[in-house]
Chains A and B, each alone.
Chain A
Amino acid sequence: MKCEEVLERELVELYVADRLHGAEKEGFESHYVDCEQCQDALRLGTILREEFDPDRIRRTSNSARWGRWATPVGLSAAAGLAMLLLLRDGSPERAVRDLGRVTTLPESPTGLILAAEGSEGDSLLAEGLRAYEEGDHAEAARELTASIRTGGDTLPAAFYLGASLLAENRFSEAIEAYRNVIASGDTVYESASRYYLAKALLREGRAEEALESLGPVERGAGEMSLRASSLADSITKAARR
């Protein structure tokens, strides 16, 4: 067997999808064992099969992607209150605003892009997420806003709209987007939305509301809770300077 025959009969594709049997399968296996080009094609095909697996997309867009953010640590109500008092006593507003700077935006949502299909709203969601992934946040904000208006999957659309607006320094709009996500209750986006909402609020100098947003995240566990706790501590320290 030669590579031309493998290509012509689409044997890599069929093998990856477990549709090759009997002598045809053995013939191809016998060939690729000693063929670097076909081995490379098999690796790529295997990755692509996994990427299109709905179970993987679900895992990526839900627990796997957000699970590590899902649970938090805690700043006590007393500490929060004490800090607020400090802020009211003429706190360094600029330091608080600086804490709202976002160095790392939420990860690119490829799984969601691949999963989005069907209605016009979903199509706009996919376009918006793709623009987000490519770093075109202004375009992402436009597409995601349109997606929400036309009835796409509003939860991821609103979450990434918030991130895009944050990147564009449109803080009050970002706040509104994140509040919409949080209003949906206990979703995979809630913890991250609370964290980034706090960031947007800080950029507007609204430290008290930022702490309120971080509270429920801190009381959970996981990476996002650590981030929330760390941010809350920083707000406290900034206020004490």
Chain B
Amino acid sequence: MNAGEGRDHGDGMGRAELLREILAARAEAVPISPDALGTIRARVGRDTRRRRGLAVGFSALATGAAAAVTAVVLSLGSAVPVVPASSTPGPTKPVPTTPVPTTPAPTTGPTTTTPPGLAALPIYLVGTVDGRDVLFREFHSAPGGDLPVRIRGALTDMIDGSPADPDYRTAWPAGAQVRGVRVQGDAIIVDLTVPAETPAQPALALQQLVHTATAVAASSGEPGLTSVRVLVDGASVARLWGVATSEPMVRESSAEILARVWLSSPQHGAVVGRTFHVQIVGTVYEATAVVRVRDAGGGVVRDETVTLDNGAPSRGEVRVSLTLAPGTYTLEAFYYSAKDGSVQGLDDHTIKVR
């Protein structure tokens, strides 16, 4: 028996409550496929035929009660996008789309303020670190408005790929367009038009989309919107560029797909005052990262070890205040390899202090 186990009954009760909350929150985030009943019926049919050698199963009930069942499921408030999942789209309901902004999402370049009518929205872009292609987040100005409008603006910006940092790029092919965005249950539904050409990194492109759409939702106070369903020209497709898209997609594990550490702010090209904040995001061992500042000549003027509020495997953040004389500087964020002490995961931004 653990020595501390019986020590504090009150603490034990609190722990159980906390565990209950955490499990409930985690369970809420589990995506549920929209057509599971259809899948079960098909499997029951196969199972029954195999066992009895007869073609009986769900067919009789399926036609009569399917509509009623769908109605019941929807009335319970479940997130069941009623979208035909077919690789050969027949006549489909038109997807309600958000109004097209009259001007394209402006790419105003790096600024520290957000122009009127625009919102600063998180955009995920691709960068290469230590030979791996991973996602980084920038904040871009995109049209404000309700959530679908914001998501649409952010995705349009993401596809156009005008990163503030020239080291970043988009995995999306030119010519892709967002036709509309809507929210259904806990899923964000994104209707796209895509060019015939397959991009070099389709899976990464789709993760860029999933990360961006869910980040806009989370930053707009909707952290429960954790999955994204992709439609092409208004219809559900089994695969887009070889990636399965019939089910809602969720974020890949951060450790796999995100940069291990990055400079969240200031962004590349930003102009800041003499005293400013540097924000680092990362999933790093012992929550330890390094912020280094080089002057225009490449000389190191600051070198600070910072502690993020969470260590690997969790994603943490830290904000440190720096005061620098006017001039041009390069900020670097990285971590030292626990194995050999080498610099890993370097992200750098050039900024101007006025």
- Tell whether A pairs with B: no
Name A's B-contacting residues (CB within 8 A). Answer: none
